Amino acid sequence: MTIIAVDGPAASGKGTIARALARHYALPHLDTGLLYRAVALNLLRWGGDPESEFAALRACDFAQTDFADAELKSEMVGGVASRISAYPAVRAALLERQRDFATQPGGAVLDGRDIGTVIAPDADAKLFITATPEVRARRRLEELLKLGRTSHYEDVLIDIRARDERDASRAAAPLRRAQDAQLLDTSELSVEAAVAQAVAAVESRLHVVDHRPAI
C-alpha cells in the first residue's frame, strides 16, 4: 500500500501535482478541498449561515452532492469553504471518509491542507507545495479568466492572502508543513518541471533503504 500526501496553500499547484502523481503511480486520487467546498455549496444553497458551526455540520450530508458541479470551483464557494473548514465538528465529520480513502487497498494520493499532519500522518511520501502569493494570484486569475469570469489581479491577491491567513491560523488542523514533508516551491517552475521534481521527491521516499540492523 502506498499513501502519498500532498499539502499546500490555494493555487500552489498541489492539485495538478497530486493528479500527476496519481497517474504516474496508477493510484486513486482525492482532492479533499472538494469535500469542504461541497459542504460550503450545500450550506449556501440551503441558505444556512456560515457563521453557525451547527448549520455547517448539517451541510456535511453529501447525499445530494454532485462533485462535478462547476460551482464548486468558484471563489465564492472557496471562501465559504475556508470559513467552515475551521469548525472542528465539520473536520470531524469529514475525517473518516478521507481516512478510508487513504487506507484503501493499494493506497492513494490525497491533496489538501492537513493530509500529512492529520489524515495520513503515516503516509509513505509527503510533499508540501508552495509558491509566492503573487505567483498563486496570477495563476488563479488565469484560471478565472479562462472560465469567463471577470476578475482583477489585486482582488485575487487579497483573497489569496486572506485565505492563507485563515487556513494557517485556525486552531483545528491548520495548514502547516508536516515535519517529514518535502518542500517543493513551484514559483519558478513550469508544470512539467514541478511534476518531474514531485515524482523525484516521492521516489526518494519510496526507495529508502532500511539501514537498521537485522536482529
End-to-end CA distance of the chain: 25
Contact call for residue 114 and ligand DC (CB under 6 A): yes
State which of residues 48, 135, 160, 167 lies at the interface with ligand DC (CB under 6 A). 167
Regarding 133 and contact with ligand DC (CB under 6 A), the answer is no
Smallest gap, in angstroms, from Cβ of residue 94 to ligand DC? 8
**How are the residues of the chain apportioned to helix, strand and coil, as percentages rounded to the nearest 5?**
55, 10, 35
Please identify, among the stretches 22-30, 75-83, 184-192, 197-205, the one whose residues bind ligand DC according to the rule CB under 6 A: 75-83
Angstrom distance (rounded) from CA 21 to CA 124: 13
The C-alpha cell that represents 164 in the structure block: 492563507
Burial of residue 147 (CB within 10 Å: 0-12, 13-18, 19+) is exposed
Burial class from Cβ neighbours inside 10 Å (0-12, 13-18, 19+) for residue 21 reads buried
160 binds ligand DC (CB under 6 A): no
Total residues contacting ligand DC by CB under 6 A comes to: 14
Nearer to ligand DC, 134 or 203 (CB): 134
Cell of 31: 482532492
Residue 34-63 contact track with ligand DC, rule CB under 6 A, x = bound:
--xx--------------------------
Q: Which one, 41 or 201, has the nearer CB to ligand DC? A: 41
Q: Where are the beta strands (DSSP E) in the chain?
A: 2-7, 29-31, 107-112, 125-130, 182-185
Q: How many CB atoms lie within 10 A of CB 45?
A: 11
**Residue 136 within binding range of ligand DC, rule CB under 6 A:** no
Instruction: For residue 75, state whether it binds ligand DC (rule: CB under 6 A).
Output: no
Which of 171, 172, 142, 190 lies closest to 13 in space, CA to CA?
190
User: Does residue number 81 form part of the binding site for ligand DC (CB under 6 A)?
Assistant: yes
33 near ligand DC, rule: CB under 6 A: yes
Residue 17 binds to ligand DC (criterion: CB under 6 A)? no
Q: Could you say which of 13, 78, 116, 133 contacts ligand DC (CB under 6 A)?
A: 78
> Rounded to whole angstroms, how far apart are CA atoms 102 and 120?
7
- Shortest distance, position 101 Cβ to ligand DC, whole Å: 12
- Site for ligand DC, rule CB under 6 A: 10, 32-33, 36-37, 78, 81-82, 85, 112-114, 163, 167
